[in-house]
Chain A
């Protein structure tokens, strides 16, 4: 079972972002790294000059690299950027159906933002060139097993660590929470390396905001399901970067994937990290996504 490091979803300062990938290249035991801006095209200019070097360094370190594309392109310049990435010859992760259209049948990865809930949708995407699909974090284990049994040649990935992406909007909630218009956002999203916490009016932690994206407050941790996922034939676990030590996170999941450590040890190791929220696996258990590891049904 492989490990895939998903794209950094948050607006980390360019230098911190470069340093992160330098360390991943040197130290992280992952098989594949997806790099690129998924959430907001306004962040792209800051990293455009650095991304080629990052990809190259990761490849040199023996990682398979994939270029991630926007999840909600709307402007012509945004689809143009996707087209250019495809033309540049990078292996591409499609996160919107527009990108699948632009790929015109070329082999590609499908990220967790496309709706693939059943074998017919999976077959349709395979016919369109998808070789690897990261499933929606919403899917319960039973559905994942059902899909894996019918996946054919498509490699399936499961969202195994990180705040789960839940929604996208034309509106920027970071800007809105700071009383700023989207067009003059001052990049306030840069202040929250793991997203901005959102609580209920009674103070209960609930969600997290990352620009136009909303995520869960809890940190998904598919710890107890790894054996079942491996048995089902799931190809890889996807680890979504948070500001904690992702090298350590990769070490934990490698241990689980190779059945060298058990779930309790993994949970203890992850819980020792400075996480932005409690560990949870509600979705995998067919429960509300917000349910924590220790919550009963």
Chain B
């Protein structure tokens, strides 16, 4: 076991190379999953087989970083061994914690591995003191990953109420505007959902069409977004699309922005949050390394009593719309 820090930077590792890049860039912990439907980033070419997981954990531990294994989809009826075996294998590989969402799998993990540290995935959408108490008191959940739709005041209230259970919040990357783990939008359009298949707006159902310089992106046959010539494009994530309602066309659910809470780190530290999560297991290792380095620099500065350099990420986010998201209440 590798020691936990008071404010832990938890970074994405989509591949073994990504894991090494994140650890080398200063990640306190990385999170990753097996290459199957047991984790919520079940994209082609991503994730770890059993041997890669063992090697990845060894690499991270040798450098003082922890590895959190995400097993955060919901088990399929009659096939739960796929998930319970993944729990057993992650424990055997030396995972520092398992990130779980399914109450049935949580019960199994607690039973079969009483001493294993368990985290509650954001996919379990625990957003009240009562919900957190439920998982903490019944299953000994040690940390809960909070939904991205809470305000700072709500995070403070939840963090205080959750103790001794820790809280972890997202600080950078994709926004999820819906209550996570309770969203069926993707399967409504494609038949594949985060809960059942570990994919949201899956690439297998995405089509891009370029006509006269304009780019149309469809998902399951539904047009999600159109980009004019030279306009920045995006992946057709369903809830980030442009839709027509009430006589107008708009980004009805969420503007295509990504979360950047770097400037809120001092406040999050003050609140007593334990984990700071960077989203993006599907992003390239160059990107991940750059983001991790910037956040690690900011955290080190904070620890030394200096203000984090807000400019550190500016180069990264140049030309990109970012937001402090729901953390500021006006978002709603």
A residues contacting B by CB (< 8 A) are 72-74, 79, 96-102, 113, 115, 117-125, 136-138, 143, 146-147, 150, 164-173, 176-178, 181-183, 196-204, 206-207, 209, 214, 216, 282-283, 286-290
B103 interface hit (Cβ, 8 Å)? yes
> What are the interface flags for B189-230 relative to A under an 8 Å C-beta threshold, 1 for contact and 0 otherwise?
111010110000000000000000000000010111110000
| A167 with B183, Cβ < 8 A, contacts A197-B245, A207-B243, A289-B188 known | yes
Establish whether residues B108 and A120, one from each chain, have CB atoms under 8 Å apart when the complex forms. yes
B115 interface hit (Cβ, 8 Å)? no
Total contacts A-B at CB 8 Å: 201
Which of chain B's residues have a CB closer than 8 A to the CB of A202?
A: 223
* A173-B248 Cα distance, complex, nearest whole Å: 13
* A98-B326 Cα distance, complex, nearest whole Å: 21
Partner pick for A170 among B74, B149, B224, CB 8 A cutoff: B149
Which of chain B's residues have a CB closer than 8 A to the CB of A289?
A: 184, 187-189, 191
Which of chain B's residues have a CB closer than 8 A to the CB of A207?
A: 185, 188, 243
Given contacts A117-B77, A138-B193, A288-B189, 10 further A-B contacts (CB under 8 A): A100-B134, A120-B80, A122-B104, A123-B104, A138-B196, A143-B76, A164-B184, A171-B253, A201-B226, A209-B245
* A115-B196 Cα distance, complex, nearest whole Å: 10
What are 15 residue pairs bridging A and B, where the CB atoms are less than 8 Å apart in the complex? Answer: A79-B128, A97-B124, A97-B126, A98-B130, A120-B80, A166-B188, A167-B178, A173-B252, A183-B332, A201-B243, A204-B223, A207-B188, A288-B191, A290-B189, A290-B222
* A79-B150 Cα distance, complex, nearest whole Å: 16
Establish whether residues A118 and B184, one from each chain, have CB atoms under 8 Å apart when the complex forms. no
> What are the interface flags for B147-172 relative to A under an 8 Å C-beta threshold, 1 for contact and 0 otherwise?
10110001000000000000000000
Q: How many interface residues does chain B have, given as a range?
A: 35 or more
Establish whether residues B103 and A121, one from each chain, have CB atoms under 8 Å apart when the complex forms. yes
B328 interface hit (Cβ, 8 Å)? no
Partner pick for B184 among A98, A137, A170, A196, CB 8 A cutoff: A137
Establish whether residues A199 and B185, one from each chain, have CB atoms under 8 Å apart when the complex forms. no
In chain B, what residue has the closest Cβ to A176?
Answer: B252
In chain A, what residue has the closest Cβ to B332?
Answer: A182
In chain A, what residue has the closest Cβ to B182?
Answer: A168
In chain A, what residue has the closest Cβ to B253?
Answer: A173
Chain B residues numbered 249-267 whose CB sits less than 8 Å from any CB in chain A = 249-250, 252-254
| A214 with B248, Cβ < 8 A, contacts A118-B74, A120-B105, A146-B77 known | no
- Nearest chain A CB to B37 CB, angstrom units: 12
- Nearest chain A CB to B329 CB, angstrom units: 9
| A167 with B182, Cβ < 8 A, contacts A74-B154, A123-B104, A282-B191 known | yes
- Nearest chain B CB to A94 CB, angstrom units: 11
Among B226, B243, B248: residue with most chain A CB under 10 A: B243
Partner pick for A172 among B130, B239, B246, B332, CB 8 A cutoff: B332
In chain A, what residue has the closest Cβ to B157?
Answer: A76
Establish whether residues A124 and B245, one from each chain, have CB atoms under 8 Å apart when the complex forms. no
Which of chain A's residues have a CB closer than 8 A to the CB of B321?
A: none
* A97-B128 Cα distance, complex, nearest whole Å: 9
Establish whether residues A125 and B103, one from each chain, have CB atoms under 8 Å apart when the complex forms. yes
| A170 with B150, Cβ < 8 A, contacts A115-B195, A198-B245 known | yes
Among A96, A167, A176, A216: residue with most chain B CB under 10 A: A167
B232 interface hit (Cβ, 8 Å)? no
Which of chain B's residues have a CB closer than 8 A to the CB of A216?
A: 188
In chain B, what residue has the closest Cβ to A218?
Answer: B188
B305 interface hit (Cβ, 8 Å)? no
Establish whether residues B245 and A196, one from each chain, have CB atoms under 8 Å apart when the complex forms. yes
* A136-B193 Cα distance, complex, nearest whole Å: 12
* A173-B246 Cα distance, complex, nearest whole Å: 11
- Nearest chain A CB to B60 CB, angstrom units: 30
Establish whether residues A177 and B102, one from each chain, have CB atoms under 8 Å apart when the complex forms. no
Which of chain A's residues have a CB closer than 8 A to the CB of B74?
A: 115, 117-118, 121
Which of chain A's residues have a CB closer than 8 A to the CB of B196?
A: 117, 138
Among A147, A178, A201, A286: residue with most chain B CB under 10 A: A201
B78 interface hit (Cβ, 8 Å)? yes
Which of chain B's residues have a CB closer than 8 A to the CB of A118?
A: 74-78, 80, 102, 104
Partner pick for A200 among B76, B185, B224, B239, CB 8 A cutoff: B224
Establish whether residues B190 and A288, one from each chain, have CB atoms under 8 Å apart when the complex forms. yes
